[in-house]
Amino acid sequence: MGDRANIVVVREDGTHELYRTGWAVDIDLDLLDGPTALLALLPELRQDGWWLDDTIAQGGVLVDLGRKVLLFFAWEGPSTGLRHRAAVYELIRAAWPGWEVRPLYDGPAELRAYLGLDPEYVRRPGAEPAPAPFLAPGDEELAGPDPGGVVITMGTGRCHVLSDAFDHPVREGVALLERLADAPGHGVCRLHVGSGVHLDPERRRLGWWSLPSTPQAYRVPELWPGWTVEFWQDDWRQHTRVSALFCPAPFDAGEGARAEVLVQAGQRRDARTRNRTLVTRLRTAQA
């Protein structure tokens, strides 16, 4: 598996152990069975003390057994989707009673900061953001109930959508404004996107949000000198309040969403079981 994530366990005495997994996609589903089940996965993970940097860490989990704190972030999984995010958190909190469950927005840097370690260790100096291409209405990447994507609204009359397979467009800084000049318009965006930006050029104000984590999320104001930048974290509704051009189609965030997430969790458990069986067979054959 090439989708990598760190898992950190802080023991009751304050010491921590660092693990690495190749099952980063849908790592949020591993949390639905509670702390005992998650800790039971540790023997099959690689413990090598290697911190993934914030450009390749596609997920991360920290379990503080003494303080009962659970931190996590993901690039891909139901918690990064508009329809399922609330259901995922509801199910996780139910499986971790008495724990503080907190999402992270700046990836492994926040994991290290929690441990009192230098966050800069997981930065990649000089790494330039990869600009996301704009998507036209009807693009096949926007098909389906959960197309992802990033919506950008500007003022009161412009709406654009970008691919979410690249860096969040706020990381481009003011250079993004030039790219928007020729971007295809979408009228009103009713897609269930996972990230968004609202720009008010006249007042030089910017608001943005993201369900997946974004490297250096709290440094975005440095990229927009002279602008007032607000980070709404995962509050996509704030975007709908400041712009009528982003109006996601209604969706079931309750029982239906919870049922879909539980089905995905069952499928992930089955996949893990198949993988363990395969690994056992291969080791037996080699022996």
Tens-binned pLDDT, residue by residue, of the chain (287 aa): 469 999 999 999 999 999 999 999 999 999 999 999 999 999 888 888 899 999 999 999 999 999 999 999 999 999 999 999 999 999 999 999 999 999 999 999 999 999 999 999 999 877 788 899 999 998 999 988 888 899 999 999 999 999 998 999 999 999 999 999 999 999 999 999 999 999 999 999 999 999 999 999 999 999 999 999 999 999 999 999 999 999 999 999 899 999 999 999 999 999 988 877 776 666 667 66
Amino acid at 265: A
What is the structure's pLDDT at 276? 76
Q: Could you give the CA distance from residue 237 to residue 162 in angstroms, rounded to a whole number?
A: 19
What is the structure's pLDDT at 208? 98
CB 60 within 8 A of CB 68: no
Q: Which two tokens stand for residue 103?
A: 């999402």
CB 92 within 8 A of CB 38: no
How do residues 104-135 score in pLDDT, each as one tens digit? Answer: 999 999 999 999 999 999 998 777 888 999 99
Percent of the chain with pLDDT over 90: 83
Q: Which two tokens stand for residue 155?
A: 């003022």
Cα–chain center distance at 43: 26
CB 45 within 8 A of CB 63: no
Q: Could you give the CA distance from residue 215 to residue 150 in angstroms, rounded to a whole number?
A: 16
